[in-house]
Amino acid sequence: MIATGQTLKAVEEVKGRSLWVDARRRLLRNRAAMASIIILGLITLLALLAPLLSPFAYDEVNYDIIACSPHWWPGETACRAPGHIFGTDSVGRDLFVRTLFGARVSLAVGLVATLVSLLIGVLYGAAAGYLGGRIDSLMMRAVDILYSLPFVFFVIILMVIFDRNFILLFVAIGAVEWLTMARIVRGQTLSIKQKEFIEAARAAGVGPFAIITRHIIPNVVGPVMVYVTLTVPGVILTESFLSFLGLGIQEPLTSWGVLISDGADQMESAPWMLLFPALFMAVTLFCFNFIGDGLRDALDPKDR
Amino acid sequence: MMAYALRRLLGAIPTLLVIVTVAFFMMRLAPGGPFDSERRLPPEVERNVKAAYNLDKPLTQQYLIYLGKLAHGDMGPSYKNKDFTVAQLILIGLPVSARLGLSAMALALLAGTALGVSAALKQNRWEDYSVMGVAMLGITIPTFVTAPILTLIFGIYGVSLFGLDLSLPVGGWNGGALRNMILPVTVLALPQIAIVARMMRGSMIEVLRANYIRTARAKGLSVSRIVLGHALRAAALPLVSYLGPALAAILTGSLIVEQIFGLPGIGRYFVLGALNRDYTLVMGVVICYATLIILLNFLADIAYGILDPRVRLS
């Protein structure tokens, strides 16, 4: 008797590891992902503190120092602008501050558009998967149709129609990106829906909306989180694409896309104008990709 | 098989109809019309011009007229390029865009597959890490950065290797000469090479662990026979379903590449048309692109059925 009691106690003392604790441990051990989180945090912090970090305003024009290199620039340049650590652009604005303000816009577009796509995609996918049958096939057929549309073209038309409205840019890109999200969530929902706890909830008289929001959505968080981290860089790229075509953010506000396309024009005479924004953007996109890969490895115990 | 193909083709018609409808009403709801300019036209002239293009009729009627003409292959006159119909403009631009896009697609598939397979065979060794690192670069660096950099290196500075002049023209089509195609095609294909390589690596690693590969190894087959004869077909399946999205991405990229390299394709017409509110031209290009994507998705589905005997096309 005593022996059994002791074993029972011993069993109790072994603490169970939940999926999330396990996942966090795996993520913490992933060096690339952790480094990416830190770098991304730094870039975000720089972007938020941008006005405090430089004596220059982002829209302060100075015609005396047009397209001047930073003073430490190796190689010959037409002029140097001391104090401007990233140099100046083609109307003499400080490139350091503009790169950070560009980070604000690019990151904001990335996050907001991803949230829009998250909201639409998760609700749509969960509803389709949970309701099933005819409604499901109808809803997913609609997604298939939308998938075959050249979507960027619609965003371009939208941006032209609504005259480059800033808010609309967020919404338009988000409205484009929800399709994959809906597919992922639906697939997950289909498998979760068969589980006993859903049946129990249904037996207890919980309505479909409450089951979707309270029981199904919390259980699809894992794959959705992975996809979210991979959507953000996609959105940032889309925004920069539109900006390159002259349909994105408007002056004097700026984004990495605008800065890069300006820089690409002046690449021969003023390479720093391309280098710094492109570097910031590439590093950010790298970070998101590494975090996404890390999360996927952490949350998917199959591939350990 | 034939019945399935036929049904899929018929199923594409409502999809196209949706696209046409959405594009039509989006363009028409836009403020500002094709004949707004700084110089006001006299009212009678404006009325006559609008009547000539049916712009004075109610919107639904305009839509029906457009659909009726479209069914006969008539996409109407371009509002801005007065001497051309939309169909003529597209016929001029499409061959350029098609050659550009198809070459980029072929390059992406070949190079991506080769890179992905070689990375999978050397999994977790330096060959693998360097291929995947470069692939990550390819995905994260946008086309409009790679284009000017490559232009600068090969076009403006000029590269010569062992006395061989490797410099390339930085723009223009020149009747589709190979030298003019190299830079735009490479730029367009780079992100897709990267994506294909990542996909191939993942599915190849999975396939190489399968039992039938182990059997093939046990029989003593060479690595190349195992990869080419047994593994590649199974590993290429995810790639087939990626063909549709890949084409969409390449078409999108071609907007930028045609702009940067000054190529006379339909991507340029689209951007110009959208900025000038040349309704009919934009509609024509969107319909053209959508048809291409739907067609490729259809071919991809058929190919999937042929490659994977487990998939029944019914």
Percent of chain B beyond pLDDT 70? 88
Q: Does residue B41 carry a pLDDT above 50? A: yes
Q: Which residues contact A53 (CB under 8 A, 6 or more apart)?
A: A46, A96, A97, A100
DSSP string, B258-272: HHHHT--SHHHHHHH
Give residue A96's pLDDT: 87
Largest pairwise CA distance in chain B: 86
Average pLDDT, integer, range B37-49: 71
The predicted-structure confidence for B215-271, as pLDDT tens digits, reads as follows: 998 998 888 888 888 888 888 888 887 887 788 888 888 888 888 888 888 888 888
Question: Cβ–Cβ of A278/B30 closer than 8 Å?
Answer: no
Beta strands in B211-270 (DSSP E): none
Q: Does residue B107 carry a pLDDT above 90? A: yes
Give residue B255's pLDDT: 85
Largest pairwise CA distance in chain A: 91
Running DSSP on this structure, what letter comes out for residue B164? E
Q: Which residues of B touch A150 (CB under 8 A)?
A: 248, 251-252, 286, 289-290, 293
Q: Which of A161-165, B104-108, B121-125, B189-193 has the lowest mean pLDDT?
A: A161-165
Question: Cβ–Cβ of B252/A152 closer than 8 Å?
Answer: yes
Of the candidates A254, A241, A209, A240, the one whose C-alpha atom is nearest the C-alpha of residue A93 is: A254
Q: Which residues of A touch B259 (CB under 8 A)?
A: 245
Cα–Cα distances in angstroms (integers) from residue A48 to residues A34, A45, A254, in the given order: 21, 5, 15
User: Is B255 part of the contact surface with chain A (CB cutoff 8 Å)?
Assistant: yes
Give residue B311's pLDDT: 64
How many whole angstroms separate alpha carbon A16 and alpha carbon A18? 6
- Is the N-terminal amide bond of A252 cis, ω within 30° of 0? yes
Asked whether the beta carbons of A264 and B148 are under 8 A apart, the reply is yes
| Residue from the list B145, B251, B271 with its beta carbon closest to the beta carbon of A264 | B145
Positive/negative CA dihedral, B1, B4, B10, B13: negative
Rg, chain A, Cα only: 25
Give residue A1's pLDDT: 47
Comparing alpha-carbon positions, the chain A residue that sits nearest to B272 is A245
Helix ranges, B53-85 (H): 59-71
How many residues are given for chain A? 304
SS3 category, B172: coil
- Mapping DSSP onto H, E and C, the string for chain A reads CHHHHHHHHHHHHCCCCCHHHHHHHHHHHCHHHHHHHHHHHHHHHHHHCHHHHCCCCCCCCCCCCCCCEECCCCCCCCCEECCCCCCECCCCCEHHHHHHHHHHHHHHHHHHHHHHHHHHHHHHHHHHHHHCHHHHHHHHHHHHHHHCCCHHHHHHHHHHHCCCCHHHHHHHHHHHHHHHHHHHHHHHHHHHCCCHHHHHHHHCCCCHHHHHHHHHHHHHHHHHHHHHHHHHHHHHHHHHHHHHCCCCCCCCCCCHHHHHHHHHHCCCCCCHHHHHHHHHHHHHHHHHHHHHHHHHHHHCHHHC
Give residue B115's pLDDT: 93
Question: Cβ–Cβ of A161/B26 closer than 8 Å?
Answer: yes
How many beta carbons lie within 10 A of that of residue A41, not counting itself? 11
ipTM metric: 0.73
Question: Cβ–Cβ of A148/B270 closer than 8 Å?
Answer: no
Asked whether the beta carbons of B281 and B82 are under 8 A apart, the reply is no
Give residue B103's pLDDT: 93
Give residue A303's pLDDT: 46
Which run of H or E residues covers position B165?
strand B164-165
User: pLDDT tens, position by position, for chain A (304 residues)?
Assistant: 455 555 555 555 566 666 678 788 888 888 888 999 999 999 999 988 877 877 777 777 777 777 777 777 777 777 777 777 787 777 778 888 888 988 988 898 888 889 888 899 988 988 898 888 888 888 887 887 777 666 777 777 777 777 666 777 777 788 778 888 888 888 888 888 888 888 898 899 888 888 888 888 778 887 888 888 888 888 888 888 888 887 777 777 888 888 888 888 787 777 788 888 888 988 998 898 888 888 887 876 554 4
Give residue A41's pLDDT: 93
The predicted-structure confidence for B129-167, as pLDDT tens digits, reads as follows: 888 888 888 888 888 888 888 887 877 676 666 666 666
